[in-house]
Amino acid sequence: MGPIVEFDSVGLRYGTGAEVLRDLDCRLSAGGFYLLMGPSGAGKTSLLKLLYLAQRPTRGRISLFGEDLTEAPREAMPAFRRRIGVVFQDFRLIPHLSAFDNVALPLRVAGRRDAEIEGPVRELLAWVGLADRASARPPTLSGGEQQRVAIARAVIGQPELLVADEPTGNVDADMAARLLHLFQELNRLGTTIVVATHDVGLLAAARGAQLLRLEQGQLVDRTGALRNPPARVM
């Protein structure tokens, strides 16, 4: 399959600061599973923000779904965003909505009827171990529970691209394995997945995933394992 994301000499700076991302050239294949790794501060969240369109690059060119974003008008952005599921590092759940309603939101926005929403939302909440917390509001949930609601909300609409920032940062190893399985199932159904993580357990378990390594704002290839598109994780 062709690329779903193309970065061409991409750079990003915040305000007048130094570039936090530099000379990014990479191509992510549609249907791929990518793990983005690198030390704290390397720029992983910033790279993900470019992918889910929360930031525009200050330099270079990004194409998404085969369309050059530098050419795309601002009005086109919401339509792009609807094709992307995002698990934010800080979850960003809607505090006054129940876990059920947070997860249901993308389906409601897509115009699905209540009868089509109930089953999938309950099933997904059960999968992430929250069947009995469906009516709880986010402020009453633990960090790990909120993270699982955020993941369920990001995957429920089967987006074309799923971008997840440290999605297993607040859960134990068993739950991390379960969440990885959920991402792999989604990937099997055709969603391209990009997960930023420090979790080496995830790296070991995500066989067939491809590794993107960021250091000090650049994609590096110290081991020679990274290619464009990057090599598979052994």
Place of tokens 């598979």: 232
Interacting residues with ligand ATP between 113 and 142 (CB under 6 A): none
Residue placing its CB nearer to ligand ATP in the complex, 13 or 122: 13
Interacting residues with ligand ATP between 46 and 75 (CB under 6 A): 46
Q: Residue 5 class from Cβ within 10 Å (0-12 exposed, 13-18 middle, 19+ buried)?
A: buried
Residue placing its CB nearer to ligand ATP in the complex, 99 or 194: 194
Residue 23 zone, left/alpha/beta (φ > 0; ψ -120 to 50; rest): left
Contact 192, 160 (CB under 8 A): yes
For 157, phi and psi rounded to 5 degrees?
A: -85, 10
Residue placing its CB nearer to ligand ATP in the complex, 187 or 197: 197
Q: Rule CB under 6 A: is residue 20 a binding residue for ligand ATP?
A: yes
Give all strands of the β-sheet with 59-64 in edge-to-edge order: 19-29, 3-13, 59-64, 67-68
Which residues are within 8 A (CB) of 177 and not within 5 positions of it... i.e. 6 or more apart?
201, 205
Binding flags for ligand ATP, 78-117, as an x/- string (CB under 6 A):
----------------------------------------
Residue placing its CB nearer to ligand ATP in the complex, 49 or 153: 49
* In the complex, minimum distance from the CB of residue 180 to ligand ATP, in angstroms, rounded to a whole number: 19
For 44, phi and psi rounded to 5 degrees?
A: -60, -50
Binding flags for ligand ATP, 170-199, as an x/- string (CB under 6 A):
------------------------------
* In the complex, minimum distance from the CB of residue 71 to ligand ATP, in angstroms, rounded to a whole number: 26
Place of tokens 């464009």: 228
Residue placing its CB nearer to ligand ATP in the complex, 40 or 223: 40
Contact 57, 11 (CB under 8 A): yes
What's CA 142's distance to the chain center, in Å?
21
* In the complex, minimum distance from the CB of residue 6 to ligand ATP, in angstroms, rounded to a whole number: 20
Residue placing its CB nearer to ligand ATP in the complex, 9 or 216: 216
Contact 141, 149 (CB under 8 A): yes
Interacting residues with ligand ATP between 21 and 50 (CB under 6 A): 38, 40-46
Residue placing its CB nearer to ligand ATP in the complex, 47 or 141: 47
Q: Which residues bind ligand ATP (CB under 6 A)?
A: 14, 17, 20, 38, 40-46
